[in-house]
C-alpha cells in the first residue's frame, strides 16, 4: 500500500464488478469518499502508513540513545513532542529545543519545518560526543549545534554518489560498535566513512560489476563488526550468471523499465556469496576457507566472540532443510563445522532474524528447532556437536531472542502461544536461565506486546494492545517485569469521533473440525443487523505471514474497514499453513501452494454465517496479494478493470476474482 489513492483505486476496481453478481445500490462518489476516510494518508514519505494522526499518544516506537535513555515522539491533538525518558528514574524531559531545531533544520533545508510536527518515520537523531545532534531526515543527515542560536549543516550528501540511505542506513551493523565508522558500498566495493569528519577510505579494490561487496553497485553494506570495531565480516556476492528480472513502473507519462538480477525457483545460477574478514586499519582481506554458498535470507549473519578472535556463521541448503553451524578463525580464515541439523521438510529457524547464539567461553551454542512440534531453544555442545538439553520447553513458539546475558546465563525472548487460555498470536516476553530452564513471564497482561530492549538488556519498553484496546506503553525492568514508569496511553477519542469502530475478533474451526482458527471481522460503521450483506474474504496465505499481520491494535487495517464501508462484511482468517503456531499447523499443506488456505476460509465463513444471519454467503468475493486468492477452477472469472479515483485520472489495471456461486452448497464452487 503505497498511498491512499492506490488503495482506493483497488477498492473501486474490486467493487465495480460486484453488481454483476446480484442487484445492489449504485455506489456514489460520496460513498467512496466516506470509505477513503478509513484509509491512512500515506502520501507523505516521512510519515509512513502505520502512523495514524487521529490516534493520540500512541507510542509504540522508541529509540534508545544509550543503555539508560530513550527518546520517543508523542503525538497529540495540539501537535508533537519529542521526549526523552531516563530509565533509571522514569523522569521525562524534552529531547531538544523543538523551536530552535526546527528553525535550524528549516534554514539548512531551505524549507520551513513545523516545530510541532515531527515525522513518525524517516526522522531520527543521536547525540555526538561534542554535544551536537546528528539528525536524520528522510535520506539526508544534518549536524546540528543547538548550544547557541542553533545551526544545522547538511552532512556530506552520499545519496547521489553512493545512494547510501543516510547516516542511519539500512545495512545491518553498518555502524561500528564504537560509533566512529560506517561502511557503505560504492562501485561494488566497500568504503568506510568517519562519522565525525566525513573522511572516506576505500576498504576493498577487487569489486567489479555483479561481483562485488553489495547486492547493488551502490548502497548500504551487509557487514558484521567485531566487538572492538577493528575487523568486520563482509560478503562478496557473485551474481554474474543470474538472469535478470524486468519490472515496468507506471507513472503519469511514460513507464520506466527496471532491470535487476533475480533468480527464480529452479534456476541453475543463483546469488553466491563468499565471506571475507577485513582488518579496518590495514585493509587486509582474509577470505574464509570455504566454498562460495547461496545467499539465503538472514543467514548472511555472523556472531562474534567477545574477544574478536572467532565468529560463528550458519550455512543452509537451497531447499532450507539442512543447516551447518560453523566456527571461523578471524586471523587465518580457517573454518570448521561444529554441528549439523536436518529438518524433515524445511527448517524454520527464525522470524525476521536468526535467533541462534554463539557461546565461545562455554564452548556451546543455542540453536532453535521445531523438533518438539514447537519452536524451542536447545543448548548444543561445540565440542561434540551434540544436543545437551532443551532451554525452553512446552507448547508455543519462541519467535525472537531479545537479549542474552553471557555472564549470568540469562536469555530474554518473545514467545507466542505459551500462556494457556490466551490468544496464541499475542506476543509475550519471558526470561529463562539457560542452565536450569527456569522461566519467568515478564508481561502478564492479556494482550499483544511489542517491545524494544535497551542496550545491555536492563530495561525494555513494552507497548501492549489488542485489536479492540489501544496501546498502553510502559517502561519495565528486565529483571522481573516491574513497571518503572508509564510512557503513554493511547487516546482514540478523535478516531472514534469520525465513526471508527473496532473489528470483531472471532474463532472458528479449521477444515479438520478440530483446530481453532483466529480471525477478524469488519462491519460497516452504519451496520444494520436487519440487512443482508455480501461477504469479502481477504487472504494472504504463506508460511512467513498470515492474513492478519498483527493482533495488536491497528486504526487502519490494510483497507479492510474501508472496503466494509462500501457495504460488505470483510473477513480475515489465519488458516492452516500460516505462522506462529505449531510445526504441524504451519506445514498442513506443505508442498501444495495451490491450497492457499481456501478450505479453511470456506468452512470458517460458513460457521460465521450460521452465527450471523446478516451474512449473505450466496454472495462471497475473495481478494488477496501475491500468491493469495487464486482458486484453481475454470469456474473462476478474472476480470481486468480500468478505473478512476478521487476525481483524478489514476488508471489502474487490476484483477477481481469473482466466484460464480457462493459457499453455501455442499461443494466449493468458484
For position 296, what pLDDT does the model report? 67
How much is the average pLDDT of 621-628?
72
Query: Is 97 within the bounds of a domain?
Result: no
What pLDDT score was predicted for residue 243?
95
% of the chain with per-residue pLDDT over 70: 84
Tell me: do 499 and 642 sit in the same domain: yes
Q: Which DSSP helix (H) or strand (E) runs through 533? A: strand 533-539
Question: Does residue 231 have a pLDDT over 70?
Answer: yes
Query: How many Cα neighbours within 13 Å face the side chain of 446?
Result: 5
**482 domain residue, yes or no:** no
CATH code, 557: 3.40.50
Q: Is residue 100 pLDDT above 70, yes or no?
A: yes
Give the residue from 294, 315, 347 where a domain finishes.
347
State residue 41's pLDDT score.
59
Does 15 have pLDDT greater than 90? no
Q: Is 190 in the same domain as 45?
A: no
What are the beta bridge partners of residue 369? Answer: 376
By residue range, what is the domain housing residue 248? 159-347
Instruction: Determine contact, residues 547/537, Cβ cutoff 8 Å.
Output: no
CATH number where 226 lies: 2.140.10.30
If pLDDT is split at 50, 70 and 90, which confidence band does 582 have? very high
44 and 179 in a common domain: no
Of the three residues 332, 347, 362, the one that is the final residue of a domain is 347
pLDDT for residue 497: 92
Nearest by Cα to 128 from 143, 108, 115, 113: 143
pTM of the model: 0.86
Same domain? 185 vs 331: yes
Q: pLDDT, tens digit, for every residue of 164-198?
A: 333 333 444 488 998 889 899 999 999 999 887 88
pLDDT at 661: 37
Does position 1 have pLDDT exceeding 90, yes or no?
Answer: no
Reported as half-sphere exposure (CB side, CA atoms, 13 A), residue 369 has a value of 21
Q: Is 7 helix (H, G, I), strand (E, B) or coil?
A: helix
CA distance 242 to 236: 15
Q: Is residue 76 part of a domain?
A: no
Q: With 0-12 CB in 10 A as exposed, 13-18 as middle and 19+ as buried, what is 491? A: middle
Has residue 116 been placed in a domain? no
At 303-356, the pLDDT tens digits run 999 999 999 999 988 888 999 999 999 999 999 999 999 998 888 866 656 689
Residue 101 within a domain:
no
Residue 439: pLDDT band with limits 50, 70, 90:
very high
Largest CA distance in the chain: 77
Q: Torsion over CA of 6, 10, 16 and 17, rounded to 10 degrees?
A: 160
Q: What is the pLDDT of residue 655?
A: 33
Q: Does 430 fall in a domain?
A: no
Helices 4-15 and 29-36, axial angle in degrees (round to 10):
130
373 confidence band (pLDDT: 50, 70, 90):
very high
Does any domain span residue 394?
no
- What's the mean pLDDT when you consider all of the chain? 85
In a domain, 193, yes or no: yes
Q: What is the pLDDT of residues 534-554, one digit of tens each?
A: 999 999 887 777 899 899 999
Listed in sequence order, the residues at least 6 apart from 580 whose beta carbon sits closer than 8 Å to its beta carbon are: 397, 399, 416, 417, 424, 425, 546
Reported as a pLDDT band with limits 50, 70 and 90, residue 129 is confident
Residue where a domain stops, chosen among 347, 367, 394: 347
How many domains are contained in the chain? 2
- Does residue 648 have a pLDDT over 50? no
Query: Contacts for 306-314 with beta carbons within 8 Å, 24 or more apart?
Result: 306/227, 306/360, 306/361, 306/406, 307/227, 308/226, 308/227, 308/228, 308/230, 308/231, 310/360, 311/224, 311/226, 311/233, 311/358, 312/338, 312/356, 312/358, 312/365, 313/233, 313/275, 314/349, 314/354, 314/356
Return the minimum-mean-pLDDT range out of 169-178, 232-241, 428-437: 169-178
SS3 457: coil
> Looking at the predicted structure, is the pLDDT value of residue 3 above 60?
no
Amino acid at each position: 500500500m503505497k498511498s491512499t489513492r492506490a488503495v482506493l483505486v483497488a477498492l473501486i476496481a474490486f467493487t465495480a464488478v460486484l453488481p454483476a453478481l446480484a442487484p445492489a445500490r449504485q455506489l456514489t462518489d460520496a460513498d467512496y469518499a466516506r470509505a477513503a476516510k478509513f484509509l491512512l494518508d500515506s502520501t507523505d514519505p516521512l510519515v509512513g502508513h502505520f502512523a495514524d494522526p487521529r490516534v493520540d499518544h500512541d507510542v509504540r516506537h522508541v529509540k534508545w540513545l544509550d543503555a539508560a535513555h530513550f527518546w520517543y515522539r508523542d503525538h497529540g491533538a495540539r501537535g508533537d513532542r519529542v521526549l526523552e525518558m531516563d530509565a533509571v528514574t522514569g523522569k521525562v524531559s524534552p529531547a531538544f529545543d523543538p523551536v530552535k531545531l526546527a528553525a535550524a533544520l528549516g534554514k539548512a533545508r531551505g524549507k520551513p519545518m513545523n516545530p510541532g510536527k515531527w515525522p513518525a518515520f524517516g526522522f531520527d537523531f543521536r547525540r555526538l560526543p561534542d554535544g551536537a545532534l546528528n539528525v536524520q531526515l528522510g535520506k539526508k543527515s544534518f549536524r546540528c549545534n543547538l548550544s547557541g542560536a542553533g545551526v544545522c549543516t547538511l552532512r556530506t550528501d552520499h545519496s547521489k554518489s553512493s545512494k547510501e540511505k543516510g547516516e542511519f542506513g539500512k545495512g545491518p551493523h553498518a555502524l561500528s560498535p564504537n560509533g566512529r565508522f560506517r561502511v557503505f558500498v560504492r562501485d561494488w566495493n566497500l568504503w568506510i566513512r568517519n562519522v565525525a569528519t566525513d573522511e572516506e577510505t576505500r576498504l576493498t579494490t577487487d569489486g567489479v560489476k555483479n561481483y562485488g561487496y553489495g547486492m547493488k553497485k551502490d548502497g548500504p553494506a551487509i557487514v558484521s563488526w567485531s566487538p572492538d570495531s577493528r575487523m568486520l565480516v563482509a560478503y562478496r556476492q557473485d551474481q554474474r550468471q543470474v538472469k535478470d528480472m524486468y519490472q515496468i513502473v507506471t507513472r503519469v507519462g511514460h513507464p520506466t523499465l527496471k532491470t535487476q538480477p533475480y533468480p527464480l525457483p529452479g534456476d541453475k545460477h543463483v546469488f553466491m556469496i563468499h565471506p571475507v574478514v577485513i582488518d579496518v586499519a590495514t585493509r587486509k582481506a582474509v577470505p574464509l576457507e570455504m566454498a562460495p554458498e547461496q545467499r539465503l535470507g538472514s543467514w548472511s549473519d555472523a556472531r562474534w566472540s567477545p574477544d574478536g578472535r572467532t565468529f560463528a556463521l550458519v550455512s543452509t541448503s537451497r531447499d532450507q532443510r539442512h543447516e551447518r553451524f560453523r566456527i571461523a578463525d578471524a586471523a587465518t580464515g580457517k573454518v570448521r563445522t561444529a554441528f549439523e541439523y536436518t529438518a524433515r521438510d524445511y527448517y524454520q529457524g527464525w522470524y525476521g532474524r536468526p535467533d541462534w547464539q554463539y557461546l565461545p567461553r562455554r564452548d556451546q551454542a543455542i540453536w532453535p528447532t521445531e523438533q518438539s512440534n514447537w519452536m524451542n531453544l536447545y543448548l548444543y555442545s561445540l565440542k561434540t556437536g551434540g544436543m545437551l538439553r532443551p532451554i525452553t520447553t512446552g507448547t508455543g513458539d519462541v519467535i525472537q531472542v531479545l537479549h542474552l546475558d553471557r555472564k549470568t546465563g540469562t536469555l530474554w525472548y518473545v514467545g507466542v502461544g505459551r500462556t494457556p487460555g490466551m490468544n496464541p498470536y499475542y506476543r509475550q516476553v519471558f526470561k529463562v536461565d539457560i542452565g536450569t530452564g527456569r522461566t519467568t513471564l515478564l508481561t502478564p497482561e492479556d494482550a499483544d506486546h511489542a517491545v524494544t530492549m535497551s542496550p545491555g538488556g536492563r530495561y525494555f519498553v513494552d507497548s501492549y494492545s489488542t485489536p479492540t484496546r489501544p496501546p498502553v506503553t510502559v517502561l519495565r525492568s528486565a529483571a522481573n517485569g516491574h513497571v518503572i514508569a508509564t510512557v503513554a496511553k493511547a487516546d482514540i477519542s478523535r478516531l472514534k469521533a469520525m465513526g471508527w469502530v473496532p473489528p470483531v475478533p472471532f474463532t472458528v474451526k479449521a477444515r479438520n473440525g478440530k483446530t481453532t482458527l483466529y480471525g477478524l471481522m469488519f462491519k460497516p460503521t452504519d451496520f444494520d443487523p436487519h440487512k443482508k450483506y455480501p461477504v469479502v474474504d481477504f487472504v494472504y496465505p504463506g508460511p512467513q505471514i498470515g492474513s492478519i499481520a498483527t493482533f495488536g491494535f491497528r486504526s487502519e487495517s490494510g483497507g479492510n474497514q474501508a472496503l466494509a464501508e462500501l457495504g460488505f462484511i470483510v473477513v480475515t482468517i489465519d488458516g492452516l499453513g500460516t505462522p506462529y503456531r505449531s510445526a504441524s499447523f504451519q506445514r498442513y499443506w506443505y508442498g501444495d501452494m495451490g491450497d492457499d488456505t481456501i478450505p479453511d476460509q470456506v468452512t470458517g465463513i460458513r460457521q460465521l454465517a450460521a452465527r450471523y444471519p446478516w451474512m449473505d454467503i450466496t454472495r462471497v468475493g475473495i481478494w488477496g496479494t501475491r500468491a493469495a486468492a487464486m482458486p484453481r477452477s475454470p469456474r473462476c472469472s478474472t476480470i481486468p478493470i480500468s478505473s478512476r479515483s478521487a476525481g483524478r485520472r489514476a488508471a489502474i489495471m487490476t484483477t477481481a476474482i469473482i466466484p460464480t456461486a457462493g459457499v453455501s452448497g455442499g461443494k466449493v464452487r468458484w
